[in-house]
Structure 1
Amino acid sequence: MKPFEPLEMGGRGWRVVVDELIVQTRVGLYEHEHEGPQPVCIDASLHYRAMPDESDAGLIDYEAWCNRVSAFLETKPHTRLLETLAVEIAALSFDEWPALDALTLTLHKPKIRPGTKRLGLELDWRRADHDAWQLRTAAGHALAR
């Protein structure tokens, strides 16, 4: 193989981009944030290498991803940290989309503080990060028994 030839069809892969998915969920440390759901804005970049095919399980369907994440966030109990919420969304994504190689999630709380448009955080995870997190979580559950 010549050095400049791509290793797979599609080069380094594909990226599904979700821009400003707004979902009502229960999150926050402060007492007033425990009163009810608040909007969380999600930007996501979902990376995969498989060549997309309508019948292929390797496809990451952005509509299905948005619906699944929205349903999860709208029905889950209160989460104190936005960081925890980001990890839960990432874990859900890796668990339900085996083709997913990596993701970047940005979670914002719009208009949460005067003088800002939105505040938030970003999580970058690869599948290896998810697998290591699963092992730590399973080990923690085993020790708790």
Structure 2
Amino acid sequence: MDKVRIENLYVETIIGFYHWEHEEPQPLQIDLELGTDFSDAFVSDDLPDALDYATLSRRVKQYCQASRFHLLEALCGGILKLIFTEFAVQSVKLVIRKPHALRDAIPSVECFRTREQMGINWPVDKDSE
């Protein structure tokens, strides 16, 4: 399986368990490792045959900015659903860091899921029907 990595995607969002965390957006840093297949892009050299990481990054940022979760774990689940619904990837490793949450450390959550584990099928290619 081929991989696309997006590292240190910066986003500000309202997130947190405590009341004061909902007063202003907080910064998050997101790393994504996306399992996909480059075979078609090897031959065609066309963006539609590759994973458009600019579009994917933009969608993840938009989703985070519009969300209002208490837990990073819940945000992870939402991002996974978004990616598997909108992009042709087979697996996602996701790390979210919340750099201002602790004074002396940077907490993070990490998860890995496959499309099969999430139960989200990719739409059938209309040319193969």
CA RMSD of superposed structures (Å): 1.6
RCO greater where, 1 or 2, for CA within 8 Å and sep 6 or more? 2
> 1:56, 1:20 → 2: CA distance?
23
> 1:58, 1:105 → 2: CA distance?
23
In structure 2, what is the equivalent of residue 140 of structure 1? Answer: none
Q: Which runs of 5+ in 1 are unaligned?
A: 1-12, 133-145
Aligned pair partner of 1:121 in 100, 109, 115: 109
State the SS of the aligned residue for 2:32.
strand
Task: Please state how far the C-alpha of 1:54 moved relative to its aligned partner.
Answer: 4.5
> 1:57, 1:104 → 2: CA distance?
23
CA contact (8 A) 2:2 2:35 kept: yes
Task: Please state how far the C-alpha of 1:126 moved relative to its aligned partner.
Answer: 0.3
Aligned pair partner of 1:95 in 65, 76, 85: 85
> 1:88, 1:38 → 2: CA distance?
18
TM-score for the superposition, normalised by structure 1: 0.74
State the SS of the aligned residue for 1:65.
helix
Tell me which amino acid in the other structure corresponds to 2:70: R
Tell me which amino acid in the other structure corresponds to 1:27: I
In structure 2, what is the equivalent of residue 23 of structure 1? Answer: 11
> 2:56, 2:11 → 1: CA distance?
13
Q: Which runs of 4+ in 1 moved over 6 A?
A: none
Aligned pair partner of 2:101 in 86, 102, 112: 112
State the SS of the aligned residue for 1:69.
helix
Tell me which amino acid in the other structure corresponds to 1:111: H
State the SS of the aligned residue for 1:36.
coil
> 1:54, 1:110 → 2: CA distance?
38
Q: Which runs of 5+ in 2 are unaligned?
A: 121-129
Tell me which amino acid in the other structure corresponds to 1:24: E
Are 1:80 and 2:80 an aligned pair? Answer: no
> 1:111, 1:28 → 2: CA distance?
11
Give percent identity, aligned residues only: 28
In structure 1, what is the equivalent of residue 21 of structure 2? Answer: 33
> 1:121, 1:88 → 2: CA distance?
14
Q: Deviation digits for residues 88-141 of structure 1, max 9, x if unmatched? A: 0011000001x200010000101311111x111001000012117xxxxxxxxx
Task: Please state how far the C-alpha of 1:49 moved relative to its aligned partner.
Answer: 2.2
